[in-house]
A and B are shown apart, each in its own frame.
Chain A
Amino acid sequence: MKILVAVKRVIDYNVQVRVKEDGTGVVTDNVKMSSNPPDDNAIEEAVKIKEAGKATEIIAITVGEEKSQETVRKALAVGADRGILIKTEGTVEPLAVAKALQKIVEKEKPDLVFMGKQAIDDDCNQTGQMLSALLNWPQATFASKIEIKDKTLEVTREIDEGLETIEVNFPAIVTCDLRLNEPRYASLPNIMKSKKKPLEILTAADLGIDTTPRVQQIKVEEPPKRKAGIKVASVAELVSKLKNEAKVI
């Protein structure tokens, strides 16, 4: 079995994101970048499946600028066998990413495609579902547990009401929740080894994909600031404030 894992390079989850003064976006210069956290879970799950002898190859792929190679290299260091970068410029919307991934899926013919359930930068939560639609494959989104059966995959999904279990045939798309597993860190020897693993670089144009955004970003603003609050000295004071000042209880 072959698993394709899509990863994305995003601003690190610990960074306090700042809006640019001219309202054209957020500050990315000299800001720490990392792999999108649920994509780490996607890689981890693929590696675990391979370690259990149920997969033979893991391909890590990203769509983004030249530097996104770092994110693919990280996936290689954790256990992916080879990497693909589809090079693009500027903002690439989930629909264009899904179309690019579709081309690769048609070429590589993986049995499973894993990715994080959402990217923590644009918070779109679209790419996996879109790719499933384009391929007419089953989609198992927001997965917190995956069990490989004979010819199917049983997936537990985190939904608003609790948990849902579905069974999907191969080939399928799985979008991973943060609770799917505990991503490992790459060891230094593995980081060194990953540098020798193959990484193919293509462009969106090579694949015939038009990445022109269809949704124009008109402006980006700071969220409204909350007015500074106060510290109360005791529980009694807190309850009194909630009752008589805020009038919420």
Chain B
Amino acid sequence: MSVLLIAEHNNKEVRPFTLNAITAASQMDGDVHVLLIGNNCGDVAKSLSEMSAVKKVLQAEAAHYENYLAENFAPLVVKVSENYSHIVSSANTFGKNLMPRIAALLDISQVSDITKVISADTFIRPIYAGNAFATVKSTDAKKCVTIRPTSFEPCETSGGSAPIEKIDASEEFTLSKFIKREEVKSDRPELGTARVVVSGGRGMQNGENFKLITDIADKLNAAIGASRAAVDAGYISNEHQVGQTGKVVVPDLYIAVGISGAIQHLAGMKESKIIVAINKDGEAPIFSVADYGLEADLFEALPQFLEELNKLNSIQK
């Protein structure tokens, strides 16, 4: 049997977490087929077919697939799923929204957000905001699995020449309608895949002060993150939130500024390679996970930080 991987894309390009999901899928079974559901997405099919881990691309196109509504995607996945042992997608908002709808239609108990593949039916997944790791074994004949993208390396994007097979679209679900998407365009690296993340919390005091963070992020070619408190307070928009109910990030360097370090925030960043905490409260829990802690007023420390970075001859990109 083979693994069916549901691609996330924007009809023009493959979204980056699909690459991590392909790697995870290939650890469950070497025969990975990618299901591409979209509209006018020929370029996406082509780039998927060039990935060495992909053995086949199934492409279904229809106008009602343009905006990835789970209600439209799920019946098609169910129809295609017959010959597959696993159905896999990434555990970001795309896969979280879609996979349970597929699993329930197939009467499968889904395994969410795995960080490791032990065998074809056994996986490790974090629970309780990452305060425990459970090893779980699925006893369903077919498995529905979402993978934590940051726990798997992205797959090679070349070296393959998989066949692209066009398949029929399923019917439209007419009770749900896409209205609009407000995407924040940015030249910065994506938060989920950035090598460096600089995050601000409640200590930033307002949205304008995030300028201090963006200046440093510019210098380090970093993505910008935030604690839930900062997003709730309206300092910065929701797609920046790092934590249990936001995004999980695993950068080489995570700089937490004015973030106290609630369990829920730590859940989203504590696997980072190097953690820096800048906080004026020396007792803040963030220091317990920081490799380098600086007890200081961020409004003094951040300008100094920028100055010190300017003195360096070179900065890694």
Residues of A near any B CB (own CB < 8 A): 11, 13-14, 16-19, 26, 38, 93-96, 98, 117-118, 120-134, 137-142, 144, 154, 157-169, 172, 177-179, 213-223, 226, 229-232, 234-236, 238-239, 241-243, 246, 248-249
Find out whether the CB atom of A162 lies under 8 angstroms from the CB atom of B184.
yes
Query: Which residues of chain A are within 8 angstroms of B291 by Cβ–Cβ distance?
Result: 226, 229-230, 246
Residues of B near any A CB (own CB < 8 A): 69-71, 74, 92-94, 96-105, 107-113, 122, 126-140, 173, 175-184, 192, 196, 220, 228, 231-232, 237-239, 244-245, 247, 252-253, 263-264, 270, 273-276, 282, 287, 289-296, 301, 304-305, 308-309, 312, 315-316
A interface SS class: mixed
Closest to B254 in A: A248
Known: A158-B238, A238-B276. A139 touches B101 (CB 8 A): yes
Kindly identify which residue among A123, A126, A214 contacts B138, using a CB–CB cutoff of 8 Å: A214
User: How distant is the Cα of A229 from the Cα of B192 in the complex, in angstroms?
Assistant: 24
What are the 3 A-B residue pairs with the smallest beta carbon separation, nearest first?
A129-B100, A214-B109, A130-B104
Select the residue from B93, B107, B220, B263 with max chain A CB neighbours within 10 A: B93
Closest to A124 in B: B112
Known: A218-B136, A226-B289. A161 touches B181 (CB 8 A): yes
User: How distant is the Cα of A134 from the Cα of B106 in the complex, in angstroms?
Assistant: 10
Known: A123-B113, A137-B175, A232-B292. A215 touches B138 (CB 8 A): yes
Find out whether the CB atom of A223 lies under 8 angstroms from the CB atom of B132.
yes
Find out whether the CB atom of A226 lies under 8 angstroms from the CB atom of B93.
no
Q: 17 A-B residue contacts at CB 8 Å?
A: A17-B131, A19-B132, A94-B100, A95-B109, A121-B127, A129-B101, A131-B104, A159-B94, A165-B182, A167-B177, A172-B175, A221-B133, A235-B301, A235-B308, A242-B292, A248-B316, A249-B309
Query: Which residues of chain A are within 8 angstroms of B228 by Cβ–Cβ distance?
Result: 178
Known: A26-B128, A179-B231. A229 touches B133 (CB 8 A): no
Known: A166-B69, A242-B253. A219 touches B134 (CB 8 A): yes
Known: A159-B93, A222-B132. A123 touches B127 (CB 8 A): yes
Kindly identify which residue among A13, A130, A134, A169 contacts B263, using a CB–CB cutoff of 8 Å: A13
Closest to B94 in A: A160
Find out whether the CB atom of A249 lies under 8 angstroms from the CB atom of B312.
yes
Query: Which residues of chain A are within 8 angstroms of B305 by Cβ–Cβ distance?
Result: 235, 238-239
User: How distant is the Cα of A10 from the Cα of B134 in the complex, in angstroms?
Assistant: 17
Query: Which residues of chain B are within 8 angstroms of A172 by Cβ–Cβ distance?
Result: 175-176
Find out whether the CB atom of B137 lies under 8 angstroms from the CB atom of A242.
no
Query: Which residues of chain B are within 8 angstroms of A132 by Cβ–Cβ distance?
Result: 71, 101
Closest to B95 in A: A125
Please give 10 more A-B residue pairs, beta carbons under 8 A apart, in addition to A129-B101, A172-B175, A178-B232.
Answer: A98-B104, A118-B245, A123-B127, A130-B101, A137-B175, A141-B97, A160-B239, A223-B130, A229-B275, A231-B293
User: How distant is the Cα of A130 from the Cα of B98 in the complex, in angstroms?
Assistant: 10
Find out whether the CB atom of A129 lies under 8 angstroms from the CB atom of B239.
no
User: How distant is the Cα of A19 from the Cα of B134 in the complex, in angstroms?
Assistant: 10
Known: A221-B133, A230-B291. A117 touches B245 (CB 8 A): yes
Query: Which residues of chain A are within 8 angstroms of B292 by Cβ–Cβ distance?
Result: 229-232, 238, 241-242, 246
Find out whether the CB atom of A232 lies under 8 angstroms from the CB atom of B110.
no
Query: Which residues of chain B are within 8 angstroms of A238 by Cβ–Cβ distance?
Result: 276, 292, 294, 305, 308
Closest-CB distance, B71 to chain A (whole angstroms): 6
Closest-CB distance, B308 to chain A (whole angstroms): 4
Query: Which residues of chain A are within 8 angstroms of B282 by Cβ–Cβ distance?
Result: 231
Select the residue from B137, B176, B289 with max chain A CB neighbours within 10 A: B176
Find out whether the CB atom of A121 lies under 8 angstroms from the CB atom of B245.
no
Query: Which residues of chain B are within 8 angstroms of A117 by Cβ–Cβ distance?
Result: 245
Find out whether the CB atom of A169 lies under 8 angstroms from the CB atom of B136.
no
Query: Which residues of chain B are within 8 angstroms of A229 by Cβ–Cβ distance?
Result: 275, 287, 289-293
Find out whether the CB atom of A17 lies under 8 angstroms from the CB atom of B137.
no
User: How distant is the Cα of A165 from the Cα of B97 in the complex, in angstroms?
Assistant: 14
Query: Which residues of chain A are within 8 angstroms of B232 by Cβ–Cβ distance?
Result: 178-179
User: How distant is the Cα of A174 from the Cα of B316 in the complex, in angstroms?
Assistant: 44
User: How distant is the Cα of A138 from the Cα of B294 in the complex, in angstroms?
Assistant: 49
Closest to A163 in B: B182
Known: A11-B128, A215-B111, A249-B312. A126 touches B136 (CB 8 A): no
Select the residue from B101, B136, B173, B228 with max chain A CB neighbours within 10 A: B101
